[in-house]
Amino acid sequence: MAKADFSPIADTTRRAEIVALLRRAILTGQLAPGQKLNELRISEQMRVSRAPLREAMRELVQEGILTSIPYAGTFVIEVTAKDIDDAYSFNKVMDELAIERAWPLRDQRFFDEIDRRHEAVKQATRALDTTRQIETALQLHGLIYEWADNSVLLETWQRLTSRLQMYFALHQHARNEPVPAEDVHETYVRLLKGKDMRAAQRHAREHIDLDFEELLAYARGLEQRPSRGA
Amino acid sequence: MAKADFSPIADTTRRAEIVALLRRAILTGQLAPGQKLNELRISEQMRVSRAPLREAMRELVQEGILTSIPYAGTFVIEVTAKDIDDAYSFNKVMDELAIERAWPLRDQRFFDEIDRRHEAVKQATRALDTTRQIETALQLHGLIYEWADNSVLLETWQRLTSRLQMYFALHQHARNEPVPAEDVHETYVRLLKGKDMRAAQRHAREHIDLDFEELLAYARGLEQRPSRGA
DNA sequence: GACAAGCAGATTGTCGACAATCTAACAAGA
DNA sequence: TCTTGTTAGATTGTCGACAATCTGCTTGTC
């Protein structure tokens, strides 16, 4: 019998598609922080009634990238420097934990997968696709969480990822420089494939530091002139 | 001018109340793991239409205590031994982090609050109110997260709390013993008010260990005869 | 008797309309 | 001029009904 390995059928509810669309719009910066989401307008644009749209929005509220005020509206979350700082320092600890847990579970599939994802980042970089670059970089980074074999840890990472992606997209958007052409992940990947766990943890922390420092500087700049959504 | 210090007005949407009702029902074990939530039946019982009910359920799905399968239904999550184990080992690391961050920020308000919450636990214990006992114990435990001054850390704890409360309630329900009358938090509180951070961290870890060990044993027993919801 | 096709019944997903609430503009009075 | 009350418009919250989908049973055929 031929083994088929089917992937799960796609969620065929409008709600699920709406969630995906909205999330993408927010994480790529199409919808700016603070911006209000007008239900009627969006539902008309998507050719969908308000019911599934509202359910989708409720999900994204719980996911932490939208915020809702009864009878006032639902808005894209604002991003403060402290939010970024909190996410940053939390991520540092989580990373160390994830590496520690994933370390003894690394196998050939792990090494294959990390190369595959690294390649995806490099390709997005070559293609000058900044959105995809952020996305793939986070996926590369997420591998240790997927391998750590802890559902709570993984879930926490996935929640955090949404916001990180949003932060980085915002940053990219702002400075409007095309890409950091350099491959900053080379060392990270090499260490994760190596034998020194402590070194991997240390580098993960420092590597993240760099990206975040820029982000923080950017966010602190924002604090001065708070931009209410367009 | 008299300073008033008003707290925010209560959310007065049906949706919010439904969320609270459902969450309580799940966390106290009124709704058993695996049980299906029939929208029509519940909406009729609550005298509410299905729209706000469905939105509420979407929130709880994202909160991680319900799970939804399109066109099949929404169910209370199943609890496996691994789920509990994952939550447990994750919580250990988080606790150390929370204590570390909260430690230098302890002030008089902190000490007052910890006593207040400790008192609440003792009162629930005396009243033989097991549900409230679990609730207050988790609130006592959550103080270090509230004081750690990190929104992501706090949010993560709150998400985890839901599930922990469910686990413990399940456990209590199963063994049906009224209460552990002994005050197990005495040492925890004393250490948090003391000067030795390391000792507090160590105790937090070990104290949690005890409760969890019982839970795990219980959950492993469940694995054998998986109970589909009533 | 085993198995596939097809048919209720029940349940979830979606829709369009109505009710409740908020916002902002304007008018009236101190 | 400032404050307060009113009102119209827009937007969110909620409802009841319809459409799509699933499940289990029945039926018919081999």
Answer yes or no: is pLDDT of B12 > 90: no
For residue B56, give the 3-state DSSP assignment: helix
Give contacts of B 6-65 with A, CB under 8 A.
Answer: 11-13, 16, 51, 54-55, 58-59, 61-64
Q: Which CATH number fits domain A81-224: 1.10.10.410, 1.20.120.530, 3.30.2290.10, 1.10.3470.10?
A: 1.20.120.530
Is it the case that residue A219 has pLDDT exceeding 80? no
What are B154-160's contacts with CB under 8 Å, separation 24+? B155/A64, B156/A90, B156/A156, B156/A159, B156/B94, B157/B94, B157/B98, B159/A156, B159/A159, B159/B63, B159/B64, B160/A152, B160/B87, B160/B90, B160/B91, B160/B94
Please answer yes or no on whether B70 and A16 come within 8 Å at the CB atom.
yes
pLDDT band at A189 (very low <50, low <70, confident <90, very high): very high
What pLDDT does B179 receive? 56
Q: Tell me which nucleotides of strand C come within 7 A of a protein CB.
A: 11-17, 20-23
What confidence score (pLDDT) does residue B7 get?
67
d(CA B136, CA B165): 10
- Which candidate from B83, B153, B159 shows the least CB-CB separation from A151? B83
What mean pLDDT do residues B142-159 have?
A: 97
Determine the protein residue whose CA lies at the shortest distance from the C1' of D20.
B71
- Measured from Cα to the C1' atom, the residue closest to C15 is A49
The answer to which of A6-10, A218-222, B72-76 has the lowest mean pLDDT is A6-10
Contacts of B152 in chain A (CB under 8 A): 83, 86-87, 90, 160
Determine the distance between A16 (CA) and C3 (C1') in angstroms. 37
Domain B14-76 has CATH 3.30.360.10: no
- Tell me the average pLDDT across B28-50: 95
What's the pLDDT band for A2 if we cut at 50, 70, 90? very low
- Assign B226 a pLDDT band (cuts: 50, 70, 90): very low
d(CA B60, CA B77): 11
Residues 179-218 of A with CB under 7 A from strand C: none
Of A17-31, A59-73, B181-195, the poorest mean pLDDT is in B181-195
B50 touches strand D (CB under 7 A): yes
Determine the distance between B43 (CA) and C12 (C1') in angstroms: 14
In this predicted structure, the answer to whether residue B207 has a pLDDT above a threshold of 90 is no
Token pair of A33 as six digits: 């922080």
Q: Is residue B218 pLDDT above 90, yes or no?
A: no
Question: Chain B contact for A155, CB < 8 A?
Answer: yes
CB A75 within 8 A of CB A229: yes
How far, in Å, are A38, A54, B14, B25, B76 from residue B51 at the CA level?
A: 18, 10, 10, 20, 19
Q: Identify the pLDDT of residue A228.
A: 37
Higher pLDDT, A125 or B99: B99
Q: How confident is the prediction for chain A on average, in pLDDT? A: 88
The stretch B150-171 carries a mean pLDDT of 93
pLDDT value, residue B174: 77
- Per-residue pLDDT at B192 exceeds 50: yes
Among chain B residues, the shortest Cα distance to A19 is held by: B58
Distance B71 CA to C8 C1' (A): 18
Indicate if the pLDDT at residue B5 is higher than 80: no
Question: Is the pLDDT reported for residue A229 higher than 50?
Answer: no
DSSP character for B28?
A: T
Q: Do A86 and B160 touch (CB under 8 A)?
A: no
DSSP-based three-state secondary structure for B65: coil
Looking at residue A149, what is its pLDDT? 97
Lowest mean pLDDT among A21-25, A211-215, B154-158: A211-215
Q: What is the DSSP secondary structure assignment for residue A194, as one 8-state letter? A: S
Q: What is the mean pLDDT of residues B66-93?
A: 93
- The reported pLDDT for the residue numbered A50 is 96
- Residue B170's pLDDT band (boundaries 50, 70, 90)? confident
- What does the pLDDT look like over B41-68, one tens digit per residue? 999 999 999 999 999 999 999 999 999 9
Indicate if the pLDDT at residue B180 is higher than 70: no
Rounded average pLDDT over A9-20: 86
Q: Strand D within 7 Å of which CB atoms in A 37-96?
A: 37-40, 50-51, 54, 68, 70-74
Nearest CA in chain B to A160: B152
The string of pLDDT tens digits covering residues A41-60 is: 999 999 999 999 999 999 99
A50: the nucleotide nearest its CA (via C1') is C15
Whether the predicted pLDDT of B202 surpasses 60:
yes
User: Average pLDDT of chain B?
Assistant: 88
- Domain borders along chain B are 14-76, 81-224
Judging contacts by C-beta atoms under 8 Å, the chain A residues touching residue B70 are 11-13, 16
Share of chain B above pLDDT 70, in %: 87
Gap between the Cα atoms of A170 and A229, Å rounded: 13
Q: Does nucleic acid strand D have an atom less than 7 angstroms from the CB of B49?
A: yes
Instruction: Give the number of other CB atoms < 10 A from CB of residue A155.
Output: 17
pLDDT at B157: 97
Tokens found for residue A48: 């969908």
**Whether pLDDT at A3 is above 80:** no
**Residue of B12, B16, B160 lying closest to A152 (CB–CB):** B160
Q: Give the up-direction half-sphere exposure of residue A117: CA atoms within 13 A in the CB hemisphere.
A: 20
Please identify which residue in the block is written with the tokens 């939530």: B37
**Mean pLDDT value across residues A128-149:** 93
Strand order across the beta sheet in which B36-37 lies: B36-37, B73-76, B66-69
Q: Which of residues 175-204 of B touch strand D (CB under 7 A)?
A: none
| Per-residue pLDDT at A173 | 79
Across residues B191-205, what is the average pLDDT? Answer: 92
Tell me the shortest Cα–Cα distance from B158 to chain A, in angstroms.
12
Yes or no: say if A87 and A167 are a contact pair by the CB < 8 Å rule: yes
- What's the rounded Cα separation, in Å, for the pair A163 and A64? 8
B160 inside 8 A of chain A by CB: yes
Between A and B, how many CB-CB pairs are < 8 A?
A: 69
| Mean pLDDT of the region A91-120 | 96
